[in-house]
Amino acid sequence: MKARLAASVALALGIALAGTGCSMITYQATTERYDASDGVSADVGDLAIRNILVVSDDGESGNLLMTVVNRGGDDVELSVQYADGGTTEIVPIEGGSTVVFGTGDVETEEQIEPYLLSGIDTDPGSLMPIYLQYGGEPGVQVQAPVLDGGLPEYAEYVP
């Protein structure tokens, strides 16, 4: 009787370990941050910059689409540098705010539409280097995709 009880306990423990034990040694993909949309993301100091992309049909001028979340309390001036470092735009971002660039689809936050970049010299379908930085924070360069109006969701954002 004791042998049967011990065997039942061992079997139940084995089933429980087999059913859940693999999560102790298996890679957990849900712990990794990734860009779930067409754009790329970056963090610069207190700024979380999400879904950065450019929409252009001619490769000469483009509409910069991105969302900037200022997680800090201080107002900052975000420097957006493009065209091989030749052109720099300064964008004010208030402390504790979210600013959506290039589109007006978010009603609760500040929106800037469109945010035109001229002289980008980047063909649709390629990547465009954009350098983002503010104050004394170390900047970051991203390779932002340049998309055209071929997809219906981006057609209205073509400059």
CATH number of the CATH domain containing 91: 2.60.40
- 56 and 111 assigned to the same domain: yes
- 112 and 88 assigned to the same domain: yes
- 46 and 15 assigned to the same domain: no
Distance CA 14, CA 21 (A): 10
- 59 and 80 assigned to the same domain: yes
- 16 and 74 assigned to the same domain: no
- 85 and 15 assigned to the same domain: no
- Indicate yes or no: pTM above 0.85: no
- 16 and 44 assigned to the same domain: no
Q: Under a CB-based contact definition with an 8 Å cutoff, are residues 133 and 139 in contact?
A: yes
Q: Give the residue numbers spanning the domain of 75.
A: 40-155
Task: Give me the number of domains the chain comprises.
Answer: 2
- 7 and 63 assigned to the same domain: no
- 93 and 21 assigned to the same domain: no
- 15 and 87 assigned to the same domain: no
- 151 and 76 assigned to the same domain: yes
- 51 and 99 assigned to the same domain: yes
Q: Under a CB-based contact definition with an 8 Å cutoff, are residues 63 and 102 in contact?
A: yes
pLDDT tens across the length of the chain (159 residues) = 677 777 787 877 777 766 665 666 677 777 777 777 889 999 999 999 999 999 999 989 999 999 999 999 999 999 999 987 678 888 889 999 998 888 755 554 566 667 888 888 899 999 999 999 998 899 999 999 999 988 888 888 888
